Amino acid sequence: MSGESDMEQLTNLVVAEGELTNIARTLGRLALDTNAGHTLLLDKSGQLISAQGSGPQRDLIALGALLAGAFSSSRQVAEILGERDFRAIYQQGAYESIYTLMIGEQWLLVVVFDKQTHVGLVKVLARKASEELERILQRVRQGSAQAREQVVSVQFRDSVSNTIDLLFQD
C-alpha cells in the first residue's frame, strides 16, 4: 500500500490548543445529534486524541487500544478477502453498539450508541463529521513540525530520561 507509506513519513502528530477545541466541538455535536454515549477520535495506533459524550465513566484508554486493534485486524481480514475499500466496522450489541469509521489512513472516529438510535443515522452523521475532522486533521498535520519545536527541547528529553531511570529500577 503505497498511499499508506506516504502517510507514515510523519513520525508524530502535534495537536495544538485551538484545533483540539475544533475537534472536541465536532465530536460533541456528533454525540448530541446521535444521542451517543461516547464519540472518540483515535489515531490508528489506538491513542485517544479526544473523547466527548455523557455516557458512563469508562476506561477509554483501554477502549481505544482495543477498538484500534479490532479495526486493524478487520482490515487484514478485508485484505485477505480482496476487499478494496474497507473503511468502517459496526459492532452490534444488545444494549450498546459501536460504529468505527476510518478517517484518511491515519485516524478512527468511534461512535458508541444505544438501541434508541438507529445505526443508519449514525452512519450518515459520522460520515459528515469525518469530513469535517479530516479538514481539521489536515491542518494539524501541516502545523505539526512547528508546534513540536515548542514542546520537545533538549532539556525536556533529559528530564524524561531521568524520570525513566527513576521509575524503572531493578
Partner 1 sequence: MALINVANREIQCKIVYYGTGFCGKTTNLHYIYGHAPARAHGAMRSIATENERTLFFDFLPIDLGTVHGFRVQFALYTVPGQVLYERTRVAVLNGVDGVVFVADSSPEKLEENFQNLIELETNMRRMGKDLGSFPFVMQWNKRDLPNAVPVATLDRYLNRRHVPAFPACATTGEGVFATLRAICKAVMAVL
- The contact set with partner 1 (CB under 8 A) reads 1, 4-21, 43-49, 59, 61-62, 65-66, 68-69, 72-73, 75-77, 80, 106, 147-148, 150-152, 155-157, 159-161, 163-165, 167-170
Residue 77 Cα distances to 14, 44, 80, 120, 138, angstroms: 31, 16, 5, 24, 28
CA-CA distance, 77 to 69, in Å (whole number)?
12
Q: Which three cell numbers stand for residue 92?
A: 452490534
Residue 136 is placed in which grid cell? Answer: 481539521
Report the nearest approach of partner 1 to the CB of residue 138 (Å).
15
72 vs 138, which CB is nearer to partner 1? Answer: 72
Q: In the complex with partner 1, which residue's Cβ is closer, 47 or 54?
A: 47
Report the nearest approach of partner 1 to the CB of residue 57 (Å): 14
| Shortest CB 116 distance to partner 1, Å | 29
N residues, the chain: 170
Nearer to partner 1, 94 or 167 (CB): 167
**CB of 130 vs partner 1, minimal distance in Å:** 18
CB closer to partner 1 out of 86 and 123: 86
DSSP letter string over 60-118?
Answer: HHHHHHHHHHHHHHHHHHHHHTT-S---EEEE--SSEEEEEEEETTTEEEEEEEETTS-
- Supply the minimum distance, in Å, between the C-beta of residue 60 and partner 1: 11
Distance CA(29)–CA(53), nearest Å, equals: 9
